[in-house]
């Protein structure tokens, strides 16, 4: 039995209309994809805006430098004092912020596509909270217990990395039932978030006042005093994990149609789901270890990207670029426009919390229709 394709509407004079091209097919070896102009224009425009905002951020401080001079310095044409200020004092902060936003944006897009739920993000799934538990334990328990001494010896970034990875492994283990179901992933993640929040509060309650103050600054998410040593591990992680995430775009598209459909289209479901979750957890773990839990970036940015670039799911590249732009821009605002400099995580939370409430209200209205 065959089904005839619907006839294409005729054009002027009865001639058939030419086919509508919604994208350009690109093939590299065995890999092919349909590229739409918006999916290329949005990352390009976002990257141009990121360069401008980064130059503005590097030029702001006790010794102001113009945007043109900053760009000249980055191109290797700057003078001695300006080169030291831009490259050694200010550039590490901006680079770490851009890499953190990139990693969080891509991680959020991976989670939301995999779970088929706009509420799925490292924040709501408890991964950033797990990193907070590791970091706060390293600050508060250092020297008081053998485990705390071990964490303190590892350092706050590594302790946060281990906390995020451990939470991600626990999330995956509790969710796995011959595969990972997106609905179960969100429910288990919310439970882990609650447990992690309770552990963090308990550690802060029993901490010395100066340790609690130091831990609280870290768990709000901050780019203050970042150096090239903070950027190096995150750079390596992004260079390794981002291409793997982009290579998984086709699998992500198929996973959107459901487990049975993806399996029928030839996807090895267990391996694909494991790879997506590990990539997302790895990206957010390194991001949080570098700058603390800068919340709501991974929740908000993918939904902004999908509305700007179009398509059925959050685009990975656009989400990463817009995440970098959001973090660097928010850091610039907190340092220059607010009466008092604040950690960047406070501003991103102020942006993301109303958006989360809007998502919940919209979901409730749909369920009652």
pLDDT tens-digit series, residues 206-259: 888 888 888 888 888 889 888 898 899 999 999 999 999 998 887 887 777 766
Segment 331-340, tens digit of pLDDT: 999 988 887 7
Of the pLDDT bands very low, low, confident and very high (cuts 50, 70, 90), residue 345 is confident
What pLDDT score does 326 carry?
94
Please give the average per-residue pLDDT across 101-124, as a whole number: 89
Residue ranges making up the domain that contains 288? 82-368
* Helices 182-205 + 209-219 axis angle, to 10: 150
Q: Which bin fits 14, alpha (ψ -120 to 50), beta or left (φ > 0)?
A: left
Hey, what long-range contacts does 25-29 have (CB within 8 A, 24 or more apart)? none
How many other C-beta atoms lie within 10 A of the C-beta of residue 352?
Answer: 22
Residue 66 lies inside a defined structural domain of this protein:
no
Is 67 inside any structural domain? no
304 within some domain: yes
| Half-sphere exposure in the Cβ direction for 205 (13 Å, CA) | 6
Q: Specify if 120 maps to a domain.
A: yes
Residues in CB range of 352: below 8 A, 6 or more apart: 295, 296, 297, 299, 300
Instruction: Report the distance separating Cα 289 and Cα 159, nearest Å.
Output: 8
**Residue 14 falls inside a structural domain:** no
Contact 112/142 with Cβ under 8 angstroms? Answer: no
pLDDT tens column, 132-161: 898 888 888 765 555 555 555 567 788 888
CATH of residue 152: 1.10.3470.10
Q: How much is the pTM? A: 0.83
Quick check: is 68 in a domain?
A: no
What's the whole-number mean pLDDT along residues 271-286? 86
Q: How far apart are CA 125 and CA 218, in angstroms?
A: 20
- Distance, in Å, from the CA atom of 70 to the CA atom of 63, rounded to the nearest integer, reads 12
Split into its structural domains, the chain has a count of 1
51-82: pLDDT as tens digits: 999 999 999 888 888 888 998 888 888 777 88
């Amino acid at each position: 039995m065959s089904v005839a394709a619907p006839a294409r509407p005729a054009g002027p004079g009865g001639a058939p209309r030419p086919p509508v091209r919604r994208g350009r097919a690109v093939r590299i070896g065995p890999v092919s994809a349909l590229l739409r102009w918006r999916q290329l224009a949005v990352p390009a425009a976002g990257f141009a805006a990121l360069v401008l905002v980064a130059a503005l951020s590097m030029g702001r401080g006790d010794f102001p430098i113009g945007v043109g001079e900053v760009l000249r310095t980055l191109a290797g044409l700057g003078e001695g004092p300006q080169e030291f200020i831009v490259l050694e004092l200010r550039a590490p902060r901006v680079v770490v912020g851009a890499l953190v936003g990139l990693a969080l944006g891509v991680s959020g897009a991976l989670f939301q596509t995999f779970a088929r739920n706009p509420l799925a993000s490292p924040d709501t799934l408890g991964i950033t909270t797990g990193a907070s538990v590791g970091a706060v334990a390293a600050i508060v328990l250092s020297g008081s217990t053998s485990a705390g001494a071990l964490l303190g010896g590892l350092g706050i970034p590594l302790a946060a990395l281990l906390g995020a990875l451990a939470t991600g492994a626990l999330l995956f283990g509790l969710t796995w039932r011959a595969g990972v179901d997106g609905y179960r992933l969100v429910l288990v993640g919310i439970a882990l978030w609650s447990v992690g929040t309770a552990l963090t509060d308990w550690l802060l309650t029993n901490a010395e006042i100066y340790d609690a103050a130091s831990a609280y600054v870290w768990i709000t998410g901050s780019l203050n005093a970042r150096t090239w040593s903070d950027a190096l591990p995150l750079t390596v992680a992004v260079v390794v994990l981002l291409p793997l995430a982009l290579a998984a775009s086709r699998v992500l598209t198929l996973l959107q149609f459901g487990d049975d459909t993806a399996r029928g289209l030839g996807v090895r479901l267990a391996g694909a789901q494991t790879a997506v979750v590990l990539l997302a957890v790895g990206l957010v773990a390194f991001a949080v270890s570098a700058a603390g839990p800068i919340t709501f970036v991974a929740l908000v940015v993918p939904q902004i990207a999908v509305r700007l670039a179009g398509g059925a799911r959050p685009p990975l590249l656009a989400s990463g670029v817009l995440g970098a732009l959001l973090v660097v821009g928010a850091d610039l605002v907190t340092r220059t426009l607010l009466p008092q400099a604040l950690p960047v995580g406070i501003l991103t939370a102020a942006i993301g919390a109303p958006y989360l409430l809007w998502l919940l209200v919209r979901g409730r209205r749909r369920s009652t229709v």
